[in-house]
């Protein structure tokens, strides 16, 4: 018997859940508070430039292929994918390290920096690949309902990897600090410090060096467009400028939501909005987690972002550039311990128009800049301006060219915008970190323990932050609902 299912939010996780639940024959309605769909992966179009507002790294192409494959489709039915070479540049004070598109190329670069390190790298990535298979085929596909889900023959023999950290592993294998920071970088996608992330997550290094960095032509938002097209073809009805102000419950069972003053009834409700916000839509007695609980969690960083249009093309920048020319530890301390603005921030510069001419008008460059910062820090225009100057000065000095004289469009986005645009807890950019104490069954639940037929999905629940996990999260919640309907 088909059910009426209401989904709050339109990020990757909500769209994924919507597709699976509609495929199962349910009547699915999706409600998004903003004017456009896509959540943190919305798109900004200004003066001929196309900016991805959130994610820009397309990793784990197999997960996207699996998602569309579940609907008998292929990624290429919706967007065109290109493997980037170089995958990215890492800028240090005295040199730029090039991460190429094959492990052999990367190993050659490692050997140049730390003689003798290339066999070690290949071994490290091979082991990471084994973890990747276990994680992707097994661990991340569990709904996080019980600790026993994690106990498989494969994980049992790797149990020590849940008690060692990525940092321990990397530092044991490599001595050169530059190589250490390059191998610790992928962990930042999990939202925590490398010395607080279980070594099992080294599978992210396989995602990076083994599977490579890809780019959907037209930007990451093309993936969202593909998912919307798929959802509509399956009968999902999408509603924008339609924020939910209340989740209705009667005698412990969900009844629907209120949107713009109107009651929308439903058999099931799934919220893909930030979990903390979703619970505030419930009467206090139906909330599972207290403010103290949320306050005690390790959140992924917030970010100061700039979307900038330049009137010319630049030399020697890659599509993706990491600026690791300052000390990682001092910056990480400000995010996780001091909760303050960093003095000398690391930052990320993305110039998608380097490899995709559709992202900027001819002869011009599209720039996206990101500084990770502590969630909840003070956010003022003066601070945004100050940090823009800090990173521009370093970009100009290290790359030997002027950027600031060539700006024709600039928009910033920071903590306050994450709160007002996405109802994000403390303005976090990408959810709750995947630390040992916040992994799998230790994360906020996909299924409400207090309200029947109420479910949650997205980056604060299982499996965690990032676009591929969001796709998986939507599938997991749809499986739980399908089971409950039977």
Ligand X SMILES: Cc1cc2nc3c(=O)[nH]c(=O)nc-3n(C[C@H](O)[C@H](O)[C@H](O)COP(=O)(O)OP(=O)(O)OC[C@H]3O[C@@H](n4cnc5c(N)ncnc54)[C@H](O)[C@@H]3O)c2cc1C
Binding site for ligand X (CB under 6 A): 8-14, 31-34, 39-41, 54-57, 243-244, 272-273, 277, 303, 305, 370, 422-423, 429-431, 458-459, 465-467, 470
CB-based contacts of 430: which residues, under 8 Å, 6+ apart? 40, 189, 191, 300, 301, 459, 465, 466
Contacts of 486 (CB under 8 A, 6+ apart): none
CB of 277 to ligand X, least distance (A): 5
Least Å distance, CB 123 to ligand X, is 27
Q: For the CB of residue 41, give the shortest distance to ligand X in the complex, in Å.
A: 5
Question: Measured from the CB of residue 362, what is the shortest distance to ligand X in angstroms?
Answer: 26
- C-alpha span between 79 and 71 (Å, rounded): 15
Alpha carbon distance 252, 135 (integer Å): 35
CA-CA-CA-CA dihedral for 378, 381, 385, 387, to nearest 10: 10
- Please report how close the Cβ of residue 417 comes to ligand X at its closest, in angstroms: 10
Alpha helices, DSSP H, located in 24-92 = 61-69
For ligand X, the closer CB: 141 or 401: 141
Structure tokens at 471: 């796709």
Cα(137)–Cα(2) distance, rounded to whole angstroms? 29
Among residues 139 and 370, whose Cβ is nearest to ligand X?
Answer: 370
Tokens of 469: 């996990």
Q: Between residues 110 and 368, which has the closer beta carbon with respect to ligand X?
A: 368
Q: How far is CA 135 from the centre of its chain?
A: 17
459: nearest Cα among 232, 335, 301? 301
Q: Which residues pair with 89 in a beta bridge?
A: 98, 321
Percent helix, strand, coil in the chain (nearest 5)?
Answer: 45, 20, 35
The nearest distance, CB 340 to ligand X, in angstroms, is 20
Residue number with CB closer to ligand X (34 or 401): 34
Helix residue spans in 24-72 (DSSP H): 61-69
The nearest distance, CB 146 to ligand X, in angstroms, is 23
Q: How far is the CB of 85 from ligand X (least distance, A)?
A: 18
State which residue, 32 or 222, has the beta carbon closest to ligand X: 32
Shortest separation between residue 368's beta carbon and ligand X, angstroms: 9
Sequence-separated (6 or more) residues with CB below 8 Å from residue 103? 121, 122, 125, 209, 210
Closest to ligand X by CB, 125 vs 433, is: 433
- The smaller minimum CB distance to ligand X, of residues 194 and 272, is found at 272
- Alpha carbon of 465 to those of 13, 379, 444, 457: distances in Å? 10, 23, 13, 11
In sign, the C-alpha dihedral spanning 202, 207, 211, 212 is: negative
Name the residue nearer to ligand X (CB basis): 15 or 332.
Answer: 15
Q: How far is the CB of 122 from ligand X (least distance, A)?
A: 25
Q: Which is nearer to ligand X, 144 or 174 (CB)?
A: 144
Count the Cβ atoms, other than its own, within 10 Å of residue 24.
17
Nearest distance, CB of residue 372 and ligand X, angstroms: 9
Residue closest to 226 by CA, chosen among 413, 19, 452: 19
Angle at CA 325, nearest 5°, toward 324 and 327?
80
CA distance 241 to 229: 19
d(CA 135, CA 147): 15
Q: Is the peptide bond before 86 cis (omega within 30 degrees of 0)?
A: yes
State which residue, 144 or 431, has the beta carbon closest to ligand X: 431
Contact between 236 and 18 (Cβ < 8 Å): yes
The residue (of 121 and 264) whose beta carbon lies closer to ligand X is 264
Find the shortest distance in angstroms from Cβ 134 to ligand X: 20
Tell me how far, at minimum, the Cβ of 186 lies from ligand X, in Å: 11
Alpha-carbon distance of 9 to 30, in angstroms, equals: 7
Q: Which is nearer to ligand X, 106 or 269 (CB)?
A: 269
Nearer to ligand X, 107 or 481 (CB): 481
DSSP notation for 420-448: HHH--GGG-SS-B---GGGSGGGSPPSB-
């Amino acid at each position: 018997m088909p059910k009426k299912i209401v989904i709050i939010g339109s990020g990757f996780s909500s769209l994924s859940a919507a597709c699976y639940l509609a495929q199962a024959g349910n009547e699915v309605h999706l409600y998004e508070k903003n004017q456009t769909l896509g959540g943190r992966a919305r798109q900004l179009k200004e003066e001929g430039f196309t900016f991805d507002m959130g994610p820009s790294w397309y990793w784990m192409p197999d997960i996207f292929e699996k998602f569309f494959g579940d609907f008998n489709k292929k990624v290429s039915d919706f967007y065109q994918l290109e493997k980037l070479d170089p995958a990215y540049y890492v800028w240090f004070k005295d040199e730029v390290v090039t991460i190429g598109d094959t492990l052999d190329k990367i190993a050659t670069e490692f050997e140049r920096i730390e003689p003798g390190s290339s066999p070690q790298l290949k071994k490290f990535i091979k082991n990471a690949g084994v973890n990747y298979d276990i994680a992707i085929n097994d661990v991340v596909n569990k709904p996080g309902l019980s600790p026993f889900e994690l106990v498989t023959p494969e994980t049992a023999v790797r149990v020590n990897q849940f008690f060692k950290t990525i940092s321990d592993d990397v530092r044991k294998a490599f001595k050169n600090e530059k190589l250490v920071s390059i191998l610790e970088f992928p962990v930042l996608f999990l939202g925590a410090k490398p010395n607080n992330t279980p070594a099992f997550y080294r599978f992210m290094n396989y995602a990076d060096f083994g599977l490579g960095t890809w780019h959907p032509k037209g930007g990451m938002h093309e993936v969202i467009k593909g998912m919307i097209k798929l959802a509509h073809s399956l009968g999902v009805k999408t509603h924008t400028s339609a924020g939910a102000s209340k989740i209705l419950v009667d005698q412990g069972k969900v009844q629907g939501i209120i949107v713009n003053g109107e009651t929308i009834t439903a058999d099931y409700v799934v919220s893909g909005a930030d979990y903390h916000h979703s619970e505030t839509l419930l009467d206090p007695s139906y909330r599972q987690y207290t403010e103290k609980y949320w306050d005690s969690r390790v959140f992924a960083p917030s970010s100061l972002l700039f979307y900038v249009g330049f009137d010319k093309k630049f030399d020697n920048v890659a599509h993706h550039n990491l600026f690791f020319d300052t000390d990682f530890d001092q910056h990480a301390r400000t995010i996780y311990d001091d909760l303050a603005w960093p003095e000398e921030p690391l930052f990320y510069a993305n110039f998608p128009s380097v490899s995709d001419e559709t992202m900027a008008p001819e002869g011009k460059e599209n720039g996206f800049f990101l500084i990770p910062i502590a969630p909840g820090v003070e956010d003022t225009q003066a601070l945004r301006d100050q940090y823009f100057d800090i990173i521009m000065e370093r970009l100009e000095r290290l790359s030997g060219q002027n950027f600031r004289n060539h700006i024709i469009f600039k928009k910033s986005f920071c903590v306050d915008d994450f709160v007002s645009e996405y109802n994000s807890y403390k303005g976090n950019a990408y959810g709750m970190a995947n630390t040992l104490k916040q992994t799998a069954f230790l994360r906020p639940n996909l299924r409400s323990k207090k309200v029947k037929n109420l479910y949650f999905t997205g980056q604060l629940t299982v499996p965690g932050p990032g676009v591929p996990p969001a796709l998986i999260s939507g599938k997991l919640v749809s499986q739980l609902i399908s089971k409950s309907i039977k």
